[in-house]
Amino acid sequence: MDLSIVIPMFNEAENVESTLKRVGEALASFEGTYEIIAVNDGSIDYTLETLKRIESQNEKIKVVSYSKNMGRGMALRKGFQESKGEMVVSIDADLSYDPQYILDLVHALKTGQDTDLVLASPYMPGGSVQGVPKLRLWISKLGNKILQFALPNRIYTSTGIFRGYRKRVLDSIELESDGKEIHLEILSKAMALGYRVKEVPTILKGRKKGRSKFKFKKTAASHLVFSVFEKPMIIFGFLGLLTLGIGFLVGIYIAYLRFSGGLTPGRPLITFAILLILGGIQILSFGFIAIQIVSLRREILRIQKENLELRKEIVNKGNAKGRGATRG
């Protein structure tokens, strides 16, 4: 199998038929074999019934389903596990991105020998946004700007679902997220392992049918936690330097009072300045320790990758021996 398309779906009954039809039409010119994996993430409308009907009529479509809604991350993980293609593309069910861009992502993977992961990017030069509510667009842009400081490479759009992967990238990462934070988890772990990321300019359009699953509080919290986790000095450095700076300013003020004769013995301001300076030093120390923990995490990821590759090699050898014994 050359290509797998993974589409998570939760209560997308209004979009199922048109989405699968448009994706199929976009792949009509694709030179190779492909499959479309629709993952029903515990929908409570008639999404599953529609998917099953279409699956029975089209051999290229495969339905993966489970009864409880677990989140986009779990849906993607299930789809990735079932995918057989050497390249894997994930796209949203409401087709906020035109499925014709699938071929652009695939082309970028095919022609870029050093490209392992391709992101559809409406925020990079050449990309654009149409019909998205202004508040949601502002929140999204701000979140991606903040995340630029956290990621080692300059990524304009790090939170989108529309991406292309080499299957070996997904096979070498142990994914854990159940929600939308999976997009950041994949990026973080892939770049920590040395995989190369490329962005392709695209147009993002607002949803026309169905209801958006965007949740501001949950999304914002996950992005902030991710930023601190990836670059702990963003928060520890800021707070540490701020505390130290205030402590030194208070110290300068105390020195001024001392030489001007206005400093009274036992004034709590002296204790306050000392506590601020010591606190700032301690916060910065926590930041340096956190940096070491991040480095250790990257080493653990590399070990996990090697273990996964070794496990896969052992399984392949076992399967080869089994086939040989059967022929014998």
pLDDT for 182-235, tens place per residue?
898 898 888 888 899 999 999 998 766 656 555 556 666 666 666 666 677 777
Model confidence band, residue 23 (pLDDT cutoffs 50, 70, 90): very high
Task: Return d(Cα 90, Cα 37) in angstroms, integer.
Answer: 9
Residue 139 CB coordination number (10 Å)? 16
pLDDT for 98-146, tens place per residue?
999 999 999 999 987 789 999 999 999 999 998 888 888 888 888 888 7
Alpha carbon 191 to chain centroid, angstroms: 11
Type of residue numbered 160: G
- Model's pTM, two decimal places? 0.75
- Tokens standing for 62? 């495969």
Looking at residue 313, its pLDDT comes to 74
Looking at residue 189, its pLDDT comes to 87
If DSSP codes are grouped into helix, strand and coil, which group holds residue 178? Answer: coil
**Can you tell me the mean pLDDT for 94-98?**
90
Give me the half-sphere count of Cα atoms (radius 13 Å) on the Cβ side of residue 133: 7
Domains in the chain (CATH in brackets) are 3-227 (3.90.550.10), 233-319 (no CATH)
Task: Return d(Cα 285, Cα 291) in angstroms, integer.
Answer: 10
